[in-house]
Structure 1
Amino acid sequence: MLPPLIISLISLYPVRRWAQRLGLMANPGGHSTHTKVTPLGGGIGIYLGMMIPMVAGTLFVLFSDAMPWLPELLPESLRRHLPGIHSRLGDLWGVLGCASGLFVLGIWDDRRGAPVSVRLGIEFLLAAVTVYVFDVRLTAFIGAAWLTDLLSVVWIVAVINSFNMLDNMDGLSGGIAMIIAGAMAAVMLTTPVAGGGQPQLFVGGLLLALCGALLGFLWHNHPPAKIFMGDGGSYFIGYIIATAMLMATFASDPRPHAVLAPLCVMAIPLYDMSTVLWIRIREGRSPFKGDRSHFSHRLVDLGLSRTQAVLTIYLVTMTCGLATLVLVHVTVLQAFAVLGIVACMLLLVVILESTGWAKQNDK
């Protein structure tokens, strides 16, 4: 977690300086609420924070075969996991390769503005490659394999776009992603691999690396933001989180309900995306055209400051994350109580929002 944090934090200083020459600047106006020209390359720091340690780690594992003295540099607690890491390098770079494709797509979108059809087409293509080529798919109790594969593709695209939509206030998308990645890493490190007693170190390590990269980015993105994440960052983190959840093992014989963990921890981003699309369609507007109908904007309309709105969403997301950590370790009956907590949180949000809408309509 520390190397991604340091790389992300340091690399964003030159990105901020050279953003204008790179064509990565966000101008005020339109549906945006910021009031000054701001660099738009935060995703570069997140990407480098993830990729540089992954490249270094991969080279270390590969060279360990030819240089037996290399593993001796590691403590025994880490050394014994090298064979397992070596066996998963193909999975790792399949995922990181697709994530890199989405990062490039996002940077292009930030610089030039890619058409919606092209963006969605590439997202679905890379999601399909992830599922059908790299065999990363949903674990669900569904008899039809084709349906499981289809849901896996839709899940990846939905999570990518949910984080992209969340990127509308300083510290919001990056902070929510860090909370979710941290919660899921805790789940992985406390949930054994199916058929064994070892924690899920591969997926947990991937998520912790993302947490570090996001924390380095948030140093620059906290209010008032010195740099925005941009589509390059939101596509990248959305894909990593989505695929990490598909690679993880949740359900087992005594706890089949644990398969709901991804939906539980992702409740707020999915709620935001669903309600925004519903509002736009209900009002006869394009569901793909940005506006100020997001959850965060609606909280501001209720009277919260922008900082209070972001912190409120953090708090609700943390609650869902803690509920997810409990969910994977309890019995079926206890799981109903945990899921009930998440449902009550969402209903509370809906009630507060509906009260605000009613007051606005009365004016």
Structure 2
Amino acid sequence: MKLYLLVVIFTAVVTSVLTWAVLHFSLRYKLYPAIRERDVHKRPTPRLGGVAMFLGVCAAFAFSTQFPFFAIIWVNPAPVLAILAAAFVIVVVGVLDDVWDLDWFIKLGAQFLTAGIIAFFGQFQIYSLPIGGITVGSSWMSFTLTLFAIVIVMNAVNFIDGLDGLVAGVCLIANGVFFAYSYLLVRDFGASTYFNVASFIAAVLVGACLGFLPLNWSPAKIFMGDSGALLLGLLMATSAIAITGVLNPAVLDPERLGRSQLLGAFIPILLPIVIVLLPLLDFGLAVIRRMGAGRSPFSPDRKHLHHRLLDMGHSDRDAVLIFYAWTAIVSFSFLLMYIGTQEEWPGDYLLGAGFGLVGVVACLVLTFLPSRPRARHVPTEIPA
């Protein structure tokens, strides 16, 4: 645990320094786009923070080679190199989009390419689902399912990137919870190479978000842009697949478990989804909304969940904090339920369920009781 904490601190420091450097480089050479109709900020702001985050991630992986504790993830370096190669490709495409606004079809193709690198060269695939012993039918099904899972998470994270500090904070909370979960899972079911990679990636992402957030907090001096949001989504999806994709379904088969362990059989697949529940919800609603209107699912608009919070009367910071609260409550409650099923506490998973219920009620109150009067109507469609 101490070495994981060291990795978090190291990544945070390196990312913070690099973010400052990228900010000043962008300002010096005016590498920032004009403000778009759907944007909330009022002045042109650099969007290349993802470059600093990527370099911080690379530095963390290089740092890990100095410790025997992490040696197991370097026994076969191919998966790690595939992760870094995929991250490099998506960051380059993200930077090009942040500077020149690429066509959505090109970005989608790049996302499938990077997902393919992870699945084929990195061999991170969803081979089984730990729900009653379900296994994926064939190698092609496994490959295809993995591709779509990674691409969906990347877009989900990218879609909520609309307010200062929103994505960095949500991913900080989500990856913090996921690290605790993966660390406990290693303890409960035995360590393996993939589990160590999953925990390490989560720790690295916590550090990267910590280092980037101060300069991204409202009023933001720099944005992570598509390069940063897609990078976070790619690595979070990879980390989750590293856990759920290689768990032996027989180990978590509900038929083998007692009542107290029944929920524990489902949480290993639920928790990785729960930590990105809000981004996935926003992504799903956006796709349905846009396709229902006969538009591309990737066409921009101003109807995301964070935009709706602003229209309800919340300030920018309040909307961000509400997202933080929802992410923390939902993910922590599932983590507590998992701990309860493994530790066999009195009341089992009821503590986590009770925490979640109280938290959800509190979040609902915060969400529907804005701290200021309802904002005047703002057009929600971008002029043609």
Q: TM-score, structure 2 length as denominator?
A: 0.78
Shift of 1:305: 1.1
Within 5 Å, give how 1:1-363 maps onto structure 2. Answer: 1-20=8-27, 24-58=31-65, 60=66, 79=68, 81-138=69-126, 139-140=128-129, 141-145=134-138, 146-192=140-186, 196=190, 200-249=195-244, 252-253=251-252, 254=257, 255-257=264-266, 258-331=268-341, 341=356, 345=360
- Give the whole-Å Cα distance in 2 for the aligned partners of 1:55 and 1:126: 21
Query: Greater shift after overlay, 127-136 or 91-100?
Result: 127-136
Shift of 1:334: 6.1
- Give the whole-Å Cα distance in 2 for the aligned partners of 1:128 and 1:197: 26
1:42 corresponds to which letter in structure 2?
Answer: G
| Cα pair 2:73 2:80 within 8 Å, conserved | no
2:176 corresponds to which letter in structure 1?
Answer: G
Shift of 1:205: 2.0
Question: Could you tell me the percent identity over the aligned residues?
Answer: 27
Partner of 2:371 in structure 1? none
- Give the whole-Å Cα distance in 2 for the aligned partners of 1:56 and 1:330: 35
Label 1:163 to 1:22 Cα distance change in 2 as closer, same or farther (>3 A). Answer: farther
| SS of residue in 1 equivalent to 2:135 | coil
**1:260-294, CA deviations, whole angstroms, 9 ceiling, x for partnerless residues?**
22112211110111112222333444321222111
- Give the whole-Å Cα distance in 1 for the aligned partners of 2:14 and 2:198: 21
Gaps of 5+ in 2: 1-7, 258-263, 369-373, 378-384
1:305 corresponds to which letter in structure 2?
Answer: S
- Give the whole-Å Cα distance in 1 for the aligned partners of 2:80 and 2:122: 10
| Cα pair 1:142 1:148 within 8 Å, conserved | no
- Give the whole-Å Cα distance in 1 for the aligned partners of 2:331 and 2:76: 27
- Give the whole-Å Cα distance in 2 for the aligned partners of 1:151 and 1:36: 41
| Cα pair 1:43 1:230 within 8 Å, conserved | yes
Shift of 1:195: 5.6
How many equivalent pairs are there? 338
2:49 corresponds to which letter in structure 1?
Answer: G
- Give the whole-Å Cα distance in 2 for the aligned partners of 1:107 and 1:16: 14
Shift of 1:28: 2.0
| SS of residue in 2 equivalent to 1:187 | helix
1:288 corresponds to which letter in structure 2?
Answer: F
Query: Greater shift after overlay, 225-234 or 110-119?
Result: 110-119
Gaps of 5+ in 1: 61-77
Label 1:116 to 1:301 Cα distance change in 2 as closer, same or farther (>3 A). Answer: same
| SS of residue in 2 equivalent to 1:144 | coil
